[in-house]
Structure 1
């Protein structure tokens, strides 16, 4: 078992974890092709907010004991109170090119969960994605880059429980040098990553990076 594998892994789970960095790299390439284009935002020429200068984020490095993991259950809604985000969540798979499927453009207030990764609150790293903007304007994760450390993210699950996460880092990464193992690798405890497009915007090719929020489970209700 490698140091990044979660304890008490089920048969085959370690191999699945080892493969996640590979789909992570492809998934982030796919996110840039989501149709997350800065169109319809003429009243905001600077684009969506970006994280400030950040110190290096060590996944799982936030202080305090880890909350006990929850059993697997699909997420139904994600709430980020400090950003006034309350969005339904639908499960996503991979498309034929190995990229995470995009939430439908028709509903900008919609997030997606990569369903082949852990569910939010389960041991391992859960992944939520969403548009930063669409052709009609800002979308669900437009403000993600200004999320502060210590902020709360709540994920309401299909089993009726709410997984509560505390943000311990927000960074933007260039998609050409995306640290997939750092972002997606298991820390051995329940964690959450929330992603959207970010970084500089180039006409014709879209955003050049991705905003990534690092959060850890602190409790449940």
Structure 2
């Protein structure tokens, strides 16, 4: 998917805003349905900005809180409400400094950006996934927009601990008006962002016009 270039104050926001371009529109109620009748994207995600190392460091240097976990990379994501049970790969940056993405296949796992906090640490962990592919159809986050406030899901981590999260908001943002600070900005406690593409499909560009973002907070 082709991501519009956004001006971001904080490089973490930068990394993630372009990610949104590849993966999302003023905020639109998630209740609006995407144009499912339109064909899936024909190209891979592009120009996904990487988050700011400084912002990530700020989150990790927070004063320890009662409800947070020690650093440990995620290896599995389970979202029962939408039938998602997937391994979690680790993604980094491309040579041009933009965020890498999982392979463009329907069976590709979700991907955690290793420059963001691990799920359960202070600040927003970032996990992305494809909504669909032109060749194979629905992908790992095809039903992400169906989540609602209050839904819970879990992330198993490499140290075998499990971080449980509760959805606080689900929104669709046009890629041209993505609120980077809101999505990627530092948070007062451990949080998680699940991101994919959504909205209507731009046939000319071969990509979706919006990003679906799920905001979630660690369950104590």
Q: What corresponds to 1:23 in structure 2?
A: 15
Q: What corresponds to 1:13 in structure 2?
A: none
Q: How does 1:30-179 map to 2 (within 5 A)?
A: 30-31=22-23, 45=37, 68-106=67-105, 108-134=107-133, 135-179=135-179
Deviation string 1:103-148 (CA, Å, 9 cap, x unpaired) is: 1124524100010000001111000000000121100000000101
Deviation string 1:178-208 (CA, Å, 9 cap, x unpaired) is: 1111001111200000000011111132101
Quote the Cα distance in structure 2 between the aligned partners of 1:190 and 1:162: 13
Distance 1:110 1:191, change over 3 A: same
Instruction: Tell me the secondary structure at the aligned position of residue 89 of structure 1.
Output: strand
Instruction: Tell me the secondary structure at the aligned position of residue 191 of structure 1.
Output: strand
Asked if structure 2 preserves the Cα contact closer than 8 Å seen for 1:125 and 1:190, the reply is yes
**When the two structures are superposed, what TM-score results if normalisation uses the length of structure 1?**
0.74
Q: What corresponds to 2:209 in structure 1?
A: 208
**When the two structures are superposed, what TM-score results if normalisation uses the length of structure 2?**
0.74
Deviation string 1:27-57 (CA, Å, 9 cap, x unpaired) is: 223437xxxxxxxxxxx52679xxxxxxxxx
Distance 1:168 1:46, change over 3 A: farther
Quote the Cα distance in structure 2 between the aligned partners of 1:82 and 1:27: 25
Quote the Cα distance in structure 1 between the aligned partners of 2:15 and 2:105: 26
Distance 1:67 1:214, change over 3 A: farther
Gaps of at least 5 residues in structure 1 are: 1-16, 33-43, 49-65
**Alpha carbon RMSD of aligned pairs, Å?**
2.1
Asked if structure 1 preserves the Cα contact closer than 8 Å seen for 2:38 and 2:201, the reply is no
Displacement, 1:24? 1.9
Q: Check if 1:197 corresponds to 2:189.
A: no
List, as ranges, runs of 4+ consecutive aligned residues in structure 1 with deviation greater than 4 Å. Answer: none
Quote the Cα distance in structure 1 between the aligned partners of 2:38 and 2:98: 28
Asked if structure 2 preserves the Cα contact closer than 8 Å seen for 1:26 and 1:98, the reply is no
Q: Check if 1:218 corresponds to 2:219.
A: yes
